[in-house]
């Protein structure tokens, strides 16, 4: 009796194929979460990919560290868990993954999706360590000017922030612990600032001893992106992801403040507020506009945005932040002025997306980063460390209200431009 001939291309059992399909859908979702996308949108995009692959239903539980999903096709059902990994920020990856979800053809196979995800995951950053360091250095200098520093203090903050960001990028690519990187970079940035200020002072120039310039050199370590997206997640009932993001952002702030506090304790810098520069109104307006554009563009580069997105972020941030500063100068309280500025950024982003295909979050969050009250946050933590509890509490409450105003401004803009957000 002859043996039955072997099948050369036997199809896998349907249960095994369903498992493979769900594995790739989970891989898609973990890439989005790791790139910094908000959980509500991750849920929507995973559903789009799952439907394109042939799932009849997909239910999931999202957390910042893992995703649990259960998929059904016909009478078959499979449940899997996938680890997300260390959180990061990459708006370019968010963009291409959103495009992949929106263009998923019916009947896409797991192998086809795996190939595309591998290509996206293997794409190196758009900018080199030197380019990113220069962009962040310019952003730190812009922060210093907007917080009333003078030319030499601005330059010192730019040097400290740029060198420290270069170190941060290199350590990140070596997969060092993020909290260790934050503490070390805060220590390096503030030390370089103090060293630069000492050299300038030794050369005969005057540099104030206010901590504003010193803190501005480490403001790139403020986790503005996770803080804003965690509030978006709370508005959409993604509480698990939101609370984890909040804890992650708080830890980064505390660790960075630790490194900064060491330098302040050694050098003895005053935490008093610097007086505003004496400039003509027209000149101050132009310099503020330039500083806002440079700062927002620098952070967009840090988040790995495309060149076109960087330009749009700078322009949108310029309009929103200048309006915020004008309202503040007119006597409006900072949280309300920030709400109006963030609302304008959100509405302008809705208009810009008619000509730009970038995800909304890649435009709005970098567009309001210059409004993040990083100065008050670090001052409050340093004052807590110095035992000035009352002053620290005042600063901490202000930070909470301002960050909340930023997120609410963006949320209201989304409610106006995307009516579907009005429903659960």
User: What integer pLDDT is reported at residue 219 of this predicted model?
Assistant: 85
H or E stretch covering 108: none
Report the side by side order of strands in the sheet with 76-83: 57-62, 66-73, 76-83
Q: Is 13 helix (H, G, I), strand (E, B) or coil?
A: coil
User: What integer pLDDT is reported at residue 8 of this predicted model?
Assistant: 43
User: Which of 150-182 are b and which e, b meaning 16 or more Cβ less than 10 Å from the residue's Cβ?
Assistant: bebbbbbbbbbbbbbbbbbbebeeeeeebeebb
Distance between start and end Cα atoms, the chain: 66
Q: What residue spans define the domains of the chain?
A: 14-121, 129-422
State the DSSP code for 56: S
How many angstroms from the chain centroid is the CA of residue 364? Answer: 10
**Residue 284 near residue 70 (C-beta atoms within 8 A):** no
User: Which of 99-120 are b and which e, b meaning 16 or more Cβ less than 10 Å from the residue's Cβ?
Assistant: ebbeebeeebebeebeebbeeb
d(CA 278, CA 276): 6
d(CA 374, CA 256): 11
Token reading at 287: 């310099």
Q: Is 376 helix (H, G, I), strand (E, B) or coil?
A: helix
Q: Is 410 helix (H, G, I), strand (E, B) or coil?
A: helix
d(CA 191, CA 262): 10
Per-residue pLDDT of the chain (424 residues; tens, 9 = 90+): 445 444 444 444 567 888 899 999 999 999 999 998 988 889 999 999 999 888 989 898 898 888 999 998 888 889 999 998 888 889 899 989 999 998 888 888 889 999 999 999 889 989 999 999 999 999 999 988 888 787 788 888 899 999 999 999 999 988 899 999 999 999 999 899 888 878 877 776 666 555 777 888 888 888 888 888 888 888 888 888 999 999 998 899 889 888 888 887 787 766 555 566 666 778 888 889 999 999 999 999 999 988 888 999 899 999 999 999 999 988 899 999 999 999 999 899 888 777 777 788 888 888 888 888 877 877 787 777 777 778 888 888 888 888 888 888 888 888 887 776 666 6
* CA dihedral sign of residues 193, 199, 201, 206: negative
**Among the listed residues 311, 316, 318, 310, the one whose alpha carbon sits nearest the alpha carbon of residue 290:** 318
Q: Are strands 57-62 and 76-83 parallel, antiparallel or unpaired?
A: unpaired
Q: CA-based Rg of the chain, rounded to a whole angstrom?
A: 24
């Amino acid at each position: 009796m002859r043996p039955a001939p072997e099948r050369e291309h036997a199809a896998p059992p349907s249960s095994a194929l369903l498992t493979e399909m769900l594995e790739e859908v989970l891989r898609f979702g973990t890439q989005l979460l790791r790139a910094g996308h908000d959980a509500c949108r991750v849920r929507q995009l995973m559903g789009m990919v799952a439907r394109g692959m042939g799932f009849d239903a997909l239910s999931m539980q999202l957390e910042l560290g893992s995703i649990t999903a259960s998929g059904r096709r016909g009478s078959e059902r499979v449940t899997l868990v996938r680890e997300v990994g260390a959180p990061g920020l990459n708006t370019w990856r968010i963009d291409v993954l959103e495009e992949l979800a929106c263009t998923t053809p019916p009947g896409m196979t797991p192998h086809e999706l795996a190939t595309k995800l591998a290509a996206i995951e293997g794409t190196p950053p758009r900018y080199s360590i030197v380019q990113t360091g220069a962009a962040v250095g310019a952003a730190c200098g812009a922060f210093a000017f907007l917080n009333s520093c003078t030319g030499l203090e601005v330059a010192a903050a730019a040097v400290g922030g740029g060198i420290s960001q270069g170190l941060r990028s290199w350590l990140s690519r070596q997969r060092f612990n993020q909290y260790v990187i934050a503490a070390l970079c805060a220590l390096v940035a503030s030390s370089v600032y103090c060293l630069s200020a000492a050299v300038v002072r030794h050369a005969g120039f005057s540099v104030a001893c206010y901590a504003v310039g010193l803190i501005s050199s480490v403001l790139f370590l403020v986790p503005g992106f996770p803080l804003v997206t965690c509030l978006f997640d709370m508005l959409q009932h993604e509480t698990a992801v939101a609370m984890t993001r909040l804890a992650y952002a708080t830890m980064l702030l505390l660790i960075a403040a630790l490194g900064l506090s060491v330098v302040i304790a050694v050098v003895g810098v005053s935490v008093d507020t610097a007086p505003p520069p004496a400039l003509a109104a027209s000149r101050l307006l132009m310099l503020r506009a330039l500083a806002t554009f440079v700062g927002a563009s620098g952070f967009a580069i840090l988040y790995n945005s495309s060149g076109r997105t960087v330009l749009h972020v700078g322009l949108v941030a310029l309009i929103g932040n200048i309006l915020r500063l004008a309202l503040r100068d007119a006597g409006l309280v900072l949280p309300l002025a920030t709400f109006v500025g963030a609302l304008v950024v959100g509405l302008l982003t809705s208009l810009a997306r008619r000509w730009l295909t970038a995800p909304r979050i890649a435009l709005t969050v970098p567009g309001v980063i210059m409004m993040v009250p990083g100065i008050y946050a670090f001052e409050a933590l340093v004052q807590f460390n110095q035992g000035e509890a009352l002053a620290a509490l005042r600063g901490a409450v202000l930070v909470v209200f301002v960050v909340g105003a930023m997120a609410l401004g963006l949320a209201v803009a989304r409610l106006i431009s995307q009516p579907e957000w009005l429903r659960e």
